[in-house]
Structure 1
Amino acid sequence: MLSEAGTPRADRRLRRARQATLLSLVTGVWASLLLPAVGLFREPEPVRAALGAVGVLAFLIAQTAVLYAAVTPWLDPRWRRRFDLALAGAAVLTVPLVGPVAAGAWPTWAWLGAALIGMAPLLVRPRAALAVAAAVLLVSVAVAEWTGGSVARHLAVTGGVGAGIAALNGFQVWFWDLLVDARQGHAAQGRLAAAEERLRFARDVHDLLGHSLTVIALKAELAARLAPVDPERAGREAAEVQRLAASALAEVRESVHGYRAVDLGEQVAAVAEVLRSCGVRCTVPSSPVDLPQPAATELAAVLREAGTNVLRHSRADWCRIHIDREGNVARMTVTNDGAGGTDPDAHSHGLRGLADRLAAAGGELRVRRQDAVFTLEATVPVPS
């Protein structure tokens, strides 16, 4: 049985495969019902032949509906149950209507019984399908004895042909089920990729804004404190807040539109200047090495988060930023004093997000604290 999960109707390839499967199943149905029609033509009594035709037609309509439901996983379950009940009712109706047709000369109902056995695996589970097959065989034997036909012939048609139809129908619907599962898996993979991209973008926005907003908050607080005692310096701090806010807005816009190219040297200079303006002696032993854009982007994100942590989670007097390259590995180390007894805010997802980001890029993030000195070290691979 196919799952009830929705299948995208807009997928043309899947829709064509479904149509081909349904056509194949319906063709098999018509072929299996042509032989009961032989009995209708061999029936000498017109009334009995007409009643038999009614029974065969009702069975054909119900069977086609059930096959349609078997390859339509988005169908309402209520309709699926109605089709199943309609087939069961039509099968019961065919016993008195089709059973006596061409009695003794042709096993008319036995062919319908074969179609029923062939349908069973599509409707119920394997054990229940075996029970249905056994019940149909018993009915076929009863019809043979009632109409004076050959029991062996009825059993051969109902059991042998029915098993062949069941195998063919089961394979076709199983293959269709595989196509549906593959399509649903592809759709799920697309949704997962979109979710991962949203998470990556959220980390980027955090990396971009976390540092800037922390500095803006600190400088705004400083300007508020200086306003009563030193209005001139408070004005300079307020102007710096305005500049930082405009810079953060520009970075976000560039990130959203995908035009942001990171200059690691500028990033180091900017972070060092912000730290110095907040009273932290920041030293950069040497100019950052020239790195490819992917590596520079990753290290710039770590640098912004490290600068934010120095301002937010420590009472640092000094900070040292060092970036070097050894072979195919670029390394950045940020060290500062004044580390307190608490770790950086776990709820900000800052360092944890950076660790995940670097791991995805093949790098690694390490942090350690010795007495009051906190060290953050990030490594990223650099292609030769």
Structure 2
Amino acid sequence: MASEAVIPRADRRLRRARQATLLSLATGVWATVLLPAVGLTREADTGRVALGAVGICAFAAAQTAVLYAAVTPWLAQRWRRRAQVGLAVVAALTVPLVAPVAAGAWPTWAWIGAALMGMAPLLVGLPAAVAVTVGTLLVSAGVAWWTDGSVGRYLAVTGGIGAAVAAVNWLQVWFWGLLVEARQGQAAQAQLAAAEERLRFARDVHDVLGHSLTVIALKAELAARLAPVDAERAGREAAEVQRLAASALTEVRETVRGYRAVDLGEQVAAVAGVLRSCGVRCSVPTPPAEVPQPAATELAAVLREAGTNVLRHSQADWCRIRIEREGNAIRMTVANDGADDRGPDEHSHGLRGLADRLAAVGGELRVRRQDEVFTLEVTVPVPS
């Protein structure tokens, strides 16, 4: 079928397991029908044979509906209750319909009782199942007394065969429940992975756009202020805005495509260039050449946020960026003067988000402030 092609492999396996469970349970159901049907062959009264056949077939149909509901987890609860109530009603009707069949010659209703007792663990909890079992045994003994049958034989068939049927049915449905739970666990794990990937992607897009748009806004504001008094410089700033916008668009496209590799040296140079263009003296020693790509990605994200904060939340005259390797870790320090008491706005990713991101890879982010000097220090582990 065409729909089969779009069903995940795990779901196809689960569907086949469900079909196998249904087939096995149905085989047991119809096996319990055959044994009561033996009584029909030993009954001379055609009226009793007809009524008995109706009762046996109705009980088998009600059993099938209940077992189908037991292995169909998406079925509405109201349909489960209706199937269970239907089985209870039909089981009660089998006493006058089936019990008189082959009275004294074959324990016809005892086999119905065994099937009903075998169904009890699938329908109700343990206390109720015990009550159903006791009630079924009492009814079986009463039917034996009413039809002049052997009470011991009836109880042996109902109790012994019923316990075996209950064990088989419970085991099969238990295994089916384990399969459903395992599949639900896989689905939950896949959803969690997708949510984490969406969060990572949103964070990366924020890191790229947050820094770029902040600089573009500042440059555009500067160009607007310079336009009436220095048209030439305003034009240069406007051209810089255009270049930054094109660069941001390229970075976003590369992020969306998922292959953006971070060159830490380029990122440091870009942030330093933006700071200098905004009048902040920037000191940047050459970063280590052997920074692994995962560490470079994390450091670049922090560097972009730090550069943005220098422009938005300080009146800095200078900024120092230092990156060095210390054993099995890369340490980056960003310090600037002119720190004020303003915090990031409500839409900012902020240092708390960066700290959470670094903690996920075993890194650490620390900040300190001394007078007007704000220092951000980041440590990211790297393989030895």
Please classify the TM superposition score into its range, dividing by the shorter chain length: over 0.9
Q: Are the aligned partners of 2:288 and 2:325 in contact in 1 as well (CA < 8 Å)?
A: no
* Contact 2:265/2:286, CA 8 A, preserved across alignment: no
Taking the aligned partners of 2:238 and 2:334, their CA distance within structure 1 comes to 28
Partner AA of 2:227 in structure 1:
A
Q: Hey, what does 2:79 align to over in structure 1?
A: 79
Shift in CA distance, 189/245, structure 1 to aligned 2, threshold 3 Å: same
User: 2:38 is matched with which residue?
Assistant: 38
**What residue is the counterpart of 2:312 in the other structure?**
312
Q: Which AA in structure 2 matches 1:147?
A: T
CA distance in 2, matches of 1:342, 1:28: 75
2:135 corresponding residue in structure 1: 135
For the Cα contact (< 8 Å) 1:289–1:325, is it kept in 2?
A: no
- Counterpart position of 1:230: 230
* Alignment check: 8 A CA contact 1:284 1:321 kept: yes
**Whole-angstrom distance in 1 between the partners of 2:123 and 2:159:** 18
Q: CA deviation at 1:86?
A: 2.2
Letter in 2 for 1:301: A
Aligned pairs (5 A) from 1:315-330: 315-330=315-330
State the AA in 2 paired with 1:190: A
Give matches, 1:88-99, under 5 Å: 88-99=88-99
Indicate the SS of the match to 1:348.
coil
Q: Which residue of 2 aligns with 1:376?
A: 376
Identical counterparts, % of pairs: 80
Aligned partner of 1:29 in structure 2 is 29
Corresponding residue for residue 114 of structure 1:
114
Seen in structure 2, the aligned counterparts of structure 1 residues 58 and 139 have a Cα distance that, compared at 3 Å, is same
Is residue 367 from structure 1 mapped to residue 374 from structure 2 by the alignment? Answer: no
* Whole-Å separation in 2 of the counterparts to 1:8 and 1:62: 33
Matching residue of 1:4: none
Matches for 1:247-262 after TM superposition, within 5 Å: 247-262=247-262
Give the whole-Å Cα distance in 2 for the aligned partners of 1:286 and 1:41: 98
Calculate the TM-score normalised by the size of structure 2: 0.94
Q: Which moved more, 1:359-368 or 1:189-198?
A: 359-368
AA aligned opposite 1:216: I
Specify the alignment match of 2:302 in structure 1: 302
User: How many Å apart are 1:44 and its aligned residue?
Assistant: 2.2
Aligned ranges 1:146-295 → 2 under 5 Å:
146-295=146-295
Q: Distance in 1 between matches of 2:190 and 2:149?
A: 60
TM-score (norm 1): 0.94
Task: Return the offset for 1:321.
Answer: 0.2
> CA 1:205–1:51 in structure 2 vs 1: closer, same or farther (change >3 Å)?
same
Deviation readout 1:192-213 (Å, 9 max, x if unpaired):
1000000000110111111111
Q: Deviations over 1:92-123 (max 9, x none)?
A: 11111110111112211011011111111111
Q: Which moved more, 1:269-278 or 1:80-89?
A: 80-89
Of 26-35 and 247-256, more deviation after overlay is shown by 26-35
Separation in 2, partners of 1:268, 1:342: 25
Could you tell me which residue of structure 1 aligns to residue 4 of structure 2?
none
Deviation at residue 346 of structure 1 after TM alignment: 6.0
What is the Cα-based RMSD across aligned positions, in Å?
1.7
Partner deviation per Cα, 1:339-384 (whole Å, 9 max, x = no partner): 1124444641221222222222222211111222111111112223
**CA 1:28–1:8 in structure 2 vs 1: closer, same or farther (change >3 Å)?**
farther
| In structure 1, C-alpha distance between the alignment counterparts of 2:267 and 2:15, rounded to whole Å | 53
- 1:104-148 C-alpha deviation (Å, 9 max, x unpaired): 122110110111111111111111111212221221122111111
Q: Give secondary structure in 2 for the equivalent of 1:32.
A: helix
After TM superposition, the structure 1 stretch with the greater mean CA deviation from structure 2, 133-142 or 248-257, is 133-142
Residue-by-residue CA offset, 1:32-64 (whole Å, 9 max, x unaligned): 222212211111222212211111111111111
Q: Using the alignment, how far apart are the partners of 2:336 and 2:298 within structure 1?
A: 21
The residue type equivalent to 1:204 in the other structure is D
Query: Any unmatched runs of 5+ in structure 1?
Result: 1-6
State how far apart, in whole Å, the 1-side matches of 2:135 and 2:247 are.
Answer: 79
**Structure 2 alignment gaps of length 5 or more:** 1-6
1:353 aligns with 2:349: no
